[in-house]
Chains A and B, each alone.
Chain A
Amino acid sequence: MTHLTTPSATDGTPTAGEAAVTVARLSGAAPARWTWGQLGLLVVLAVVVLFTVPNPSLAIGMLIYGLWAAGLNLLVGYGGLVSFGHALPFAWGGYAAGLTLLHVSSSAWLALLVAVVSMAVLSALVGAVCLRRTEVYFSMLTLAFAQLGFFIALQWDDLTGGDDGLAGIPVPTLWLPGTTVELNALRDPLTFFVVTAVLVLVVFAGLILYTESPMGRVLQAIRESEERARGCGYSTRLVQLATFVVAGAVAGLAGGLFAMLNNFVGLQPYWLLSGVVLIMVILGGRSSLFGPFLGAVVYLLLESTLSRYFASWQLIVGAIFVICVLAFPQGLWGLLTQTLPGLFRKRRRTR
């Protein structure tokens, strides 16, 4: 009878029974052979987008949103930390890059650098407060900071343009060894696409490395049992904070690119925008980095096509989302790497 102790003593670690239920969630969902293969998949996806998506700015937007979602998944999927405020770093990156281009220099490198570095610093501060708690408290705190950011952007309209948006951002120039190119998405979308794709690929590779590095592995261990990770000697908050900073910096980069794409930074309620990127992550699947990227592409495709024919297209998105969480917690990625291969295997066997 010694075992009828309260489960609360275990620091919220799922008991064996519960874990068995969730096992389907992760077991083998990210087969090791796919780890670096994701980079290849991303190249393929980028090429497919390049040749099939008829709207250039949508195509470029897919890369940017994809990167944003993949970065968020560091927190959501790998860290078990659901941020409800990931619009904040995206918007911040946009303002930082936009204001740099407007007032300092038209160098794309400088603008992006400012976006990334300033967002990393801000993330460290915000994260230090938000990560005092985990689970839903963390979500609520990130939401609160996003609301705070929205409020400041709205009120400080001398700087940000308020809800009218930050307009008139000049076309940036990109210095490359031996040459400089103009990043004008409207006049020369191909250059913009290629530059974005290369940047995204490099950062994506960095994200894969991060998840595969000792630090990234500890992050996943913390998601499984923070208590145990502490017992191994890890400062779990430090690892989570570092990840928060990385995710923030990546979102800042995405936001900066987005500002360059549009030469404009708009303001919209951040909790809505945070919700959209979260949908992309779940739709694509939480157990990989490529999944959220795919989720972003599919979501934008749904939005841009469905919305033209069906005013209540969000009903479909919502329903897909519910089905995803209920039946395919691994999202599209799980569907592609687990369910479909499983079906094929079965069919072959029955033959």
Chain B
Amino acid sequence: MTEPILTAAGLDRSFGGIHAVNDVSLEIPQGALHAIIGPNGSGKTTLFNLITGHTRPSAGRVRFAGEDITGMPYSKVARKGLAKSYQITTVFPLLTVFENVRIAAQAAAHSYVFWRPADGIRAVVAHTEEVLERIGLAGERDVIASNLSHGDQRRLDLGIALATSPRLLLLDEPTAGMSPSETAATVELVKELNRDVTILMIEHKMDVILSIADRITVLHQGEKLFEGAPEDVKSHPRVQEVYLTGTL
């Protein structure tokens, strides 16, 4: 067994005396599709922010791909191969769909090139087209991102993350606000993506999680309540008590 791609050990973060995340540890093995669930305010997003470097942990370490990334700036973490898609859609609103993805695609090899036109770099263009194909937006390549439908914007958001060729993809509620059919399509997409990239996701829709995750962590008031396979989560009494009842 190889080393887990992401290890979080004893992560802790408090805001003004309130523990948003309290001594949480995670281990995400290579190739996993790991989900984090928990009611509102249970610390999921803070946990993500601790991993990505948006927030500095009060205590604990984060290791990514064999390297300590605790407190590293977000852009540097991203360069190491950790990409994130956002809970509140975050794309480049006034750029075309193609350019949105292309920006991400060029990050790997051509970040700070200023002596040749970007559109002339074949490898980047090819990779962009491939990603657009994958997220099903190839037909909308010249549309201004903010003119896309909500569902398409969410997929574009995912596409941007994907185009950086990450080794670990963090998805923050990828199906939020989507219609059932859009949700189904996204679920398929996530499953497909998981074939070559490790995924760590936050999700509210229990049916979504149960159908795709291979391991689940339940957070409650900033603490890890339970971790296990989907079927174990379903049957765990405490989880049912604090989370499942009333929300589905």
Binding site for B on A (CB under 8 A): 2-3, 5, 7, 9-11, 13-14, 16, 19-20, 22-23, 25-28, 209-210, 212-218, 220-221, 224-225, 227-236, 238-239, 242
Contact = CB atoms under 8 A, between A and B. Distances in A.
Interface string B119-139: 101001000000000000000
B111 A234 contact: yes
A100 B46 CA distance: 56
22 contacts: A2-B40, A13-B90, A16-B150, A19-B146, A23-B144, A27-B147, A28-B144, A213-B115, A214-B106, A214-B110, A214-B113, A215-B112, A216-B114, A218-B111, A224-B92, A224-B94, A224-B95, A225-B93, A232-B103, A232-B107, A232-B160, A233-B78
B112 A214 contact: yes
Contact of B90 (A210, A217, A228): A228
B147 A23 contact: yes
B153 to A, nearest CB: 7
Contacts of B52: 231
B176 A2 contact: yes
A247 B78 CA distance: 28
B177 A3 contact: yes
Given A230-B74, A231-B84, A22 B95 contact: no
Contacts of A242: 112, 114
Given A3-B177, A218-B103, A26 B111 contact: no
Given A225-B91, A232-B160, A242-B112, A214 B144 contact: no
Q: Interface of chain A, helix or strand or loop or mixed? A: helix
Interface string B98-118: 010011101110111111111
Contacts of B99: 217, 221
A233 B89 CA distance: 18
Given A9-B88, A229-B103, A232-B164, A27 B94 contact: yes
A90 to B, nearest CB: 23
7 closest cross-chain pairs (CB), A and B: A224-B92, A19-B146, A233-B79, A233-B78, A215-B114, A19-B93, A26-B94
Contacts of A28: 144
Given A2-B204, A213-B116, A231 B146 contact: no
Nearest to A3: B177
Contacts of B121: 214
A238 B204 CA distance: 37
